[in-house]
Amino acid sequence: MVCRLAALPAGQVFGTGTILDTARFRNMLGEHVGVAPQSIHAYVLGEHGDSEVLVWSSISIGGVNVNDFAAQMGRPLTPEVKCHMDDCVRQAAYRIIDGKGATNYGIGAGIANIVRAVRDNSRTVMTLSAPAPELEYVHGACLSLPRILGTRGIETTLHPALSKEEHEEIEHSARILREAASTIAYTLCNGPLLERRKATGIGARRIAT
């Protein structure tokens, strides 16, 4: 919806997506296997919320599959360990809000990283939220995927290898986001906001279309 309202080139309107979830996931993995989070290639995709997907199948550390790396370090990733990490990452925001009322510091740091990537044209890979029209199951929704970010905004969207289960979870997350987007679009096209815009002549036609 915002992408349509902004009428800007593709890639210049995007959300922070799952950058916080991805950072938390890497931190937890790093603590478990004893390596810096910056050395871990791991991503949380989909919705920034309950349906987000922790992509275990493609995680690597130093070019080594995460399960093999963990075994070499004597810290195997058992189903119980993975379940615990999944719960901690997925519920982190709720715990922080319960503790201090907001997650302002985390998202502030994430936005600062985004600004630096755009300012410096660093072409950093971040799990940002944006449309993905090339994926049929994402039609009508924005979701988080690894994206290369530079001065021109999102330059490329990456599509990591997923297991069958992860692919099904991503599709489920996309459906949830698509339904939420449809609800917002209906509200904008039929609610007080549209009436105000019609009265002022600002953006009413763009919302309606």
Residues 81-137: tens digit of each pLDDT: 999 999 999 887 777 777 777 778 888 999 999 999 999 999 999 999 998 877 777
How far is 209 from 204, CA to CA, in rounded Å? 9
Cα 77 to Cα 122: distance, rounded to the nearest angstrom? 33
Position 208 scores a pLDDT of: 39
Predicted local confidence at residue 195, as pLDDT: 56
**What one-letter code names the amino acid at 60?**
S
**Length of the chain (residues):** 209
On whether the CB atoms of residues 28 and 88 are closer than 8 A, the answer is yes
Catalytic residue among 48, 84, 139, 159: 48
How far is 138 from 90, CA to CA, in rounded Å? 21
pLDDT given for residue 191 in this prediction = 56
| CB-based contacts of 88, cutoff 8 Å, min separation 6 | 24, 28
Q: How many other CB atoms sit within 10 Å of the CB of residue 87?
A: 10
DSSP at 33: H
Asked if residue 193 has pLDDT above 70, the reply is no
Neighbours of 165 (CB within 10 A): 11
Q: What is the pLDDT of residue 209?
A: 38
Q: Is the pLDDT of residue 4 over 80?
A: no
pLDDT-based confidence at 185, cuts 50/70/90?
low
Q: Would residue 48 show up in a list of annotated catalytic residues for this protein?
A: yes
User: For residues 132 and 145, what is the distance between their CA atoms, to the nearest angstrom?
Assistant: 9
| Single-letter amino acid, residue 11 | G
Q: Which residue has the higher pLDDT, 3 or 144?
A: 144
The CA-based dihedral angle spanning residues 69, 73, 79, 84, taken in that order and rounded to the nearest 10 degrees: -110
pLDDT tens digits along 25-49: 999 999 999 999 999 999 999 988 8
